[in-house]
Amino acid sequence: MNSSRKRVSGTLSNGRRGLILTTDESEVWVIDTEDDAGQLLGRRVVVEGAHAGLDRLRADWIGAA
């Protein structure tokens, strides 16, 4: 994996900026995805994708942790 790729895990929620992933270390990531992730809200997930900004990930994949 190169430095522009990330794999993070945490709790998925809805926020003003879209889907939000909060890690156990209290990092907050805004997740951009075309997938319907509604069934994963409130659950622990793993997100893999490309860095798309300071705190934003363009998700290739989201799944239950």
pLDDT tens digit string along 11-58? 999 999 899 999 999 999 999 999 889 999 999 999 999 999 899 999
In the chain, where the domains are located? 5-64
pLDDT confidence of residue 2: 55
The dihedral sign for the CA sequence 24, 31, 18, 44: negative
Query: 16: which residues sit within 8 A by CB, 6+ positions away?
Result: none
**CATH number belonging to domain 5-64:** 2.40.50
- The 8-class DSSP code of residue 31 comes to E
